[in-house]
Amino acid sequence: MSTKMIHALYTDDDVLLSAVKQVRDKHYHIEEVFTPFPVHGLEKAMGIADTRLAINAFLYGIVGLCVATAMMNYIMIEDWPQDIGGKPSFSYLENMPAFVPIMFELTVFFAAHLMVITFYMRSRLWPFKKAENPDVRTTDDHFLMEIDTHGADEEEVTKFLYETGAVEIKLIDKEAH
């Protein structure tokens, strides 16, 4: 196993995109790409699998709907079916229109909040997390591609990256990083 990584910096998102494609063609392994803003089409170029966050949200929504239904059915119908203003609390279905606003809101509430929390967990984000920024410039106007050479000739990789339009290439020790 190699202990070396290469950091290649770019100053333009179009150059970065074409570089990613070339690096993938060469079968070098891209460890990570840091960009200051979303680059359209980057995840496709890198071959990253689609997110399943939307599927999560759908399932959370169903949970929310179930919670709302179970809660109101228990409170309003089973536990204490009081006559409130003549509303028919004999069965859930009979009084359902009155419950729909809450069913809707809880569906949205569960779907939205649980999805956001899932996102934080999956992308490991929390308030006192140590930032993992390899180069401060990547938050402003530089794009950084991190390549694991896997024991390939570093000289050769460096030369290749230079040709893809990198403005700066750094050899990094994995441990130090």
Nearer to another protein, 100 or 171 (CB): 100
Considering the complex, what minimum distance in angstroms separates the CB of residue 63 from another protein? 16
Considering the complex, what minimum distance in angstroms separates the CB of residue 26 from another protein? 27
Among candidates 160, 150, 143, which has minimal Cα distance to 32? 143
Cα gap 86→38, rounded to integer Å? 55
Q: What does the binding site for another protein look like in residue numbers (CB under 8 A)?
A: 54, 58, 86, 97-98, 100
Considering the complex, what minimum distance in angstroms separates the CB of residue 106 from another protein? 16
**Strand pairing class (4-10; 143-148):** antiparallel
Nearer to another protein, 54 or 167 (CB): 54
Among candidates 75, 68, 49, which has minimal Cα distance to 111? 68
Nearer to another protein, 96 or 171 (CB): 96
Cα gap 16→166, rounded to integer Å? 8
Considering the complex, what minimum distance in angstroms separates the CB of residue 129 from another protein? 31
Nearer to another protein, 86 or 127 (CB): 86
| DSSP-H helix ranges across the chain | 13-25, 42-46, 53-72, 96-122, 154-163
Cα gap 13→42, rounded to integer Å? 9
Among candidates 171, 157, 145, 144, which has minimal Cα distance to 30? 145
Cα gap 137→11, rounded to integer Å? 10
Considering the complex, what minimum distance in angstroms separates the CB of residue 105 from another protein? 13
Nearer to another protein, 32 or 43 (CB): 43
